[in-house]
Amino acid sequence: MDDSNDDLGEVAYIGKLKTQTFKQLQLERLIKSGTVIPASKLAETKELELQRSRDFEASIEDEERHRRTAVTAPEDKLMNLQLTRERFED
């Protein structure tokens, strides 16, 4: 036993060890690799997707309303429209 005490004489404190179970280590690796998403990010992503779908449905309603109420120009005005270009001068 005296021999082992001599070896421990040169031991110095370096820092605190990170202690975690194998399951925690495995979960951390899966999160880093992107295989598993934490519940908080999953809820955030779900809320964003719901907002996108609500926005899309609102845009569909707006488009349908626009198509019902929009008035197109008469055909004779579109065909006889005189388009000219003017020279651009500084």
CA pair distance 39, 48, nearest whole angstrom: 14
Residue in this structure with the two tokens 């270009």, named with its chain if needed: 85
DSSP three-state, residue 71? coil
Q: Say if residue 45's pLDDT is above 50.
A: yes
CA pair distance 73, 79, nearest whole angstrom: 10
Share of the chain above pLDDT 70, in %: 90
The H or E element that residue 61 is part of is helix 39-69
Q: Say if residue 6's pLDDT is above 60.
A: no
DSSP three-state, residue 57? helix
Does the pTM surpass 0.75? The reply is: no
Share of the chain above pLDDT 90, in %: 24
